[in-house]
Structure 1
Amino acid sequence: MTVDYGMCARRLLRRCVVIYLVSVTLIQSKDVTMVIGEVGGAVTLPCISDLQRLPIHLYIQRPDPDEFINGYHKTRDLPSPHPDYANRTQVDHTQGTMKLWSIRLSDEGLYECHIGYPTKNNQENIQLNVTANYSIPNVTVACDNGRCLVTCSSDNGYPRRDVEWSLNPPLNQSTWGAVNSSEVRDPASMLFSVFSSISVNCSSGLRLNLSCAVGGALSQEHTVCRPPDISVVSVISAVSVIAAVLLCFLVLVSNSKKKKAHTARGTQGGKGAASSDENVQLT
């Protein structure tokens, strides 16, 4: 019997390729558990969902490059945790978890849990996303000639967030507009500080309240534009009314005096004519 070694080699190669592609597909389609932690806080990474069986070993590491973080083995001693995680992690093999505290931004990323059982090994992937709450925004207002420059700033947050403005009542873009926006990242903590400034036209005389928010942190509401003071308006109105009344009074007095003067002249003229007539008769 003749054996075609070339054909066997090709079949074997195809089978190897199929097995490789299937294994790659399984790895790429493996579920990833999302976990969120806060800077300075603590989080628990769940490596095992089935607690009916206790593992022989449980290793937690980070890929690219592989870094052993911490773990458990039933019969062997394990190497010391990675220096970046020393005194910050604790593995509980009975619960299939690893607790991580004093969270840093550098902790963000993918974690691999390698679980060993007597008959098989499992791998669970966990994505840790790290956040940091922004401080309550600080608002400053500077006004000149009917226009106000309003600035909002917030510090020590992650990831980067934009400043969001809330105007009450809402105004159209012809009345206000953004001047600039910027952010600064601390080189040590890697946290963000964000800033935003807007210009507001207050010439309409309407009251305007506004606030700003950054990543869920909300500032107090500030009054930027104010209508004229009611007391001042009342005084001006009262003065105007008094002035109008006084003017009318002066006009009436002046007209009255003119009428009296005109009447007096008419009376004197009549008496002079009567005296002339008497003189004529006597003559």
Structure 2
Amino acid sequence: MSVDYGMYARRLLQRCVVFFLISVHFIQSKDVTMVIGEVGGAVTLPCTSDLQRLPIHLYVQRLDPVEFINGYHQTKDLPSPHPEYANRTHVDHLQGTMKLWSIRPSDEGLYECHIRYPTKNNQENIQLNVTANYSIPNITVACDNGRCLVTCSSDNGYPRRDVEWNLNPPLNQSHWRVVNSSGGTDLVSTLFSVFSSISVNCSSGPRLNLSCAVGGALSQEHTVCRPPDTSVVSVVSAVSVIAAVLLSFLVLVFSSKKKKAQTARGNQGGKGAASSDE
């Protein structure tokens, strides 16, 4: 009896695909507890919620590469904690937790807690997301020939964020544009610094107020594209009017005195002529 190796191969392939899909579904459906920690602070990883039974052992590890972080064993000595975590972690097997302090950006990632009980083994997956508040953004403004270059900068934040601009009133994109946007990482702290510069056309709009935000940190509001100061114009106009009125008054006074002097000389001349006739 001949064997259809082609059909056999196709069935084997189908079974492998089904097994792969089932495995992927199992991996994706595994519960992951999300925890957020702030750089420099402390966080507690909840390895178990079953506090009714004491575990035989509980250890925490990271993957890629596999690193034993810290743990507890009822009867055996465990390996020393990983050097990165030796003085920053503590496992409490009574509460089923591991505390981590002096948090760094490099601590972000997936943690596995392996717990063994007398009758079963358990595994908890915990995703630690690390954050750091950005400094209050600083804004600088430089204007020339009807255009203003506005720069926003902020540092010491994590993860990387983009600068967000808020213009009031809103301007059409034809009146402003981003000319530069960049960032860097501190080599020691691995925290991010970001900045962004925009060019604003002040010749086509009214007074403009703007601010910027980075990762929830908001700058103070700054005013650019200032219109002419109407108060100064009013003062200059008022001074000009007063000067004109004063000058007119002086001219009138001078003219009046001149006329009086001429009249007085005329009267004196008339009296002299009368005396001669006598």
- TM (norm. structure 2) is 0.76
8 A contact 1:205–1:228 mirrored in 2: no
Structure showing greater radius of gyration is: 1
Q: Secondary structure at the match of 1:48?
A: coil
Partner of 1:97: 97
Within 5 A, what are the aligned runs for 1:64-103? 64-103=64-103
Partner of 2:3: none
- Distance in 1, matches of 2:237 and 2:20, equals 91
Shift of 1:47: 0.6
- Distance in 1, matches of 2:178 and 2:21, equals 53
Partner of 1:195: 195
8 A contact 1:107–1:128 mirrored in 2: yes
8 A contact 1:137–1:217 mirrored in 2: yes
Q: Secondary structure at the match of 2:233?
A: helix
Counterpart of 1:82 in structure 2: which amino acid? H
Shift of 1:132: 1.7
- Distance in 2, matches of 1:207 and 1:20, equals 62
Shift of 1:139: 0.5
Shift of 1:55: 1.3
Shift of 1:174: 2.3
8 A contact 1:161–1:194 mirrored in 2: yes
- Which deviates more from structure 2 when the two are superposed, residues 84-93 or residues 198-207? 198-207
Task: Summarize deviations over 1:2-32 as a string: whole Å, max 9, x none.
Answer: xxxxxxxxxxx9xx98999867754453111
Within 5 A, what are the aligned runs for 1:20-99? 26-99=26-99
Instruction: Tell me how large the CA RMSD over aligned residues is.
Output: 2.8
Q: Secondary structure at the match of 2:133?
A: coil
Q: Secondary structure at the match of 1:95?
A: coil
Partner of 1:151: 151
Q: Secondary structure at the match of 1:60?
A: strand
Partner of 2:108: 108
Counterpart of 2:182 in structure 1: which amino acid? S
Partner of 1:209: 209
8 A contact 1:47–1:98 mirrored in 2: yes
Within 5 A, what are the aligned runs for 1:105-254? 105-204=105-204, 206-238=206-238
Q: Secondary structure at the match of 2:232?
A: helix
> Is there any run of 5+ residues in structure 1 with no aligned partner, and where?
1-12, 254-283
Quickly say closer, same or farther: Cα 1:140–1:115, change in 2 above 3 A. Answer: same
Shift of 1:189: 2.3
Counterpart of 2:188 in structure 1: which amino acid? A
8 A contact 2:175–2:204 mirrored in 1: no
**Count of residues in correspondence between the two structures:** 236
Q: Secondary structure at the match of 2:84?
A: helix
Quickly say closer, same or farther: Cα 1:168–1:19, change in 2 above 3 A. Answer: closer
Task: Summarize deviations over 1:178-234 as a string: whole Å, max 9, x none.
Answer: 111111122332221111111112225722111100011111111112222122221
Counterpart of 1:184 in structure 2: which amino acid? G
> Is there any run of 5+ residues in structure 2 with no aligned partner, and where?
1-11, 253-278
- TM (norm. structure 1) is 0.75
Task: Summarize deviations over 1:113-160 as a string: whole Å, max 9, x none.
Answer: 001111000011111111221111110011112221110001121211
Quickly say closer, same or farther: Cα 1:21–1:73, change in 2 above 3 A. Answer: farther
- Distance in 2, matches of 1:135 and 1:146, equals 31
Q: Secondary structure at the match of 1:82?
A: coil
Q: Secondary structure at the match of 2:115?
A: strand
